[in-house]
Amino acid sequence: MSSDLRWAVTDGPAGTAAVALPDDGPAAHLLDRAHGVGFWCSRQAGGCGGPLVLEAEDGVRPRFRHQGDTRCRYVGREADAGPRYDHLRYQRALAAWLAGQGHHLRVQKVPQPDGRTGLHVVVDDVGQAIEVQLAPLPDTVWRRRDDRYRRQVRHVTWLYGPAAQSAGDTEAAVRGVAYSVRRHRTGLLVGVRDVDGGTRWVPLGACRLTADGFAAPGATEARARHAERAAGRQEAARRAARCAARAAQQALGPGRGRRGASITGGRPPAPDLHPLPFPR
């Protein structure tokens, strides 16, 4: 039995250098020449580790084919491979970015309900974690995981893939900034999202992981805008509370209003400001 796939790795049976086949034959031949050492069905993506043959016949969409009668979970289920290979391209680029800054990392896979795989990257030398979230994530699950990780390290940075943008919306509303991530050629782009819904895309190489956390162009401005709006909402709540207190005193009448004022020292009660639902 044989199968045709769109994904493979170029660095051995347990490799992480994932490639996706282009749709046209000439481009597939260029890929074949660029990676003359061969292609494998990666065990890191749940595959069999066996060698693959690239076929690009005229008039036929290019494909990777298992050799012989290889037994593999993707034989007859080729469409399942894409989501399971996806995280490898994020993992490789992220590992290279961290290594380039002299950091040492540990990578743990996080299986997702839709078949994708997320990444939990621990950078011990700075006490931080980076979460690469590639599947949709309910708010309650996001909060539990975020709380758990923050009990283990000093800083947690979430990078939300295209399918996880709703969780990114939640974090942007709570903390003033959230980070999207998407593949770009062999690297990654990071989107700095603010409370206005705007996104500024920058190469991952323009970002740094410092002792104070993940630093990206535009993040400081996004947090300042969020803080300014939060302060404005709090001041509006205080004004509303003062107006409500004056209205209540007037309704009680002059005498009772003065007695009420003597209890509070002539000051309206402080507004009941509820904390944000998630940690900053």
Q: What pLDDT score was predicted for residue 230?
A: 66
Q: What pLDDT score was predicted for residue 224?
A: 80
- Show the beta-strand stretches assigned E in the chain: 4-5, 7-9, 18-20, 39-40, 51-55, 63-66, 105-111, 117-123, 128-133, 155-160, 178-184, 187-193, 199-203, 208-210, 213-215
Q: What are phi and psi for residue 88, nearest 5 degrees? A: -65, -35
Give the largest CA-CA distance in the chain.
97
Q: Which neighbouring-strand residues pair with 201?
A: 191
pTM > 0.85: no
Q: What pLDDT score was predicted for residue 2?
A: 44
Q: How confident is the model at residue 270 (pLDDT cuts 50, 70, 90)?
A: low
pLDDT (average), residues 163-169: 93
Look at residue 1 and tell me whether its pLDDT is greater than 70.
no
Cβ atoms of 245 and 164 within 8 Å: the answer is: no
Compare 186 and 131 and report the one with higher pLDDT. Answer: 131
Q: Which stretch, 182-186, 204-208, 216-220, has highest mean pLDDT?
A: 204-208
pLDDT (average), residues 12-16: 94
Q: How confident is the model at residue 262 (pLDDT cuts 50, 70, 90)?
A: very low
Look at residue 249 and tell me whether its pLDDT is greater than 60.
yes
Q: How confident is the model at residue 140 (pLDDT cuts 50, 70, 90)?
A: very high
* Percent of the chain whose predicted confidence (pLDDT) is above 90: 55
Question: What is the tens place of the pLDDT at every residue in 41-66?
Answer: 999 999 999 999 999 887 788 999 98
Look at residue 40 and tell me whether its pLDDT is greater than 90.
yes
pLDDT (average), residues 228-246: 78
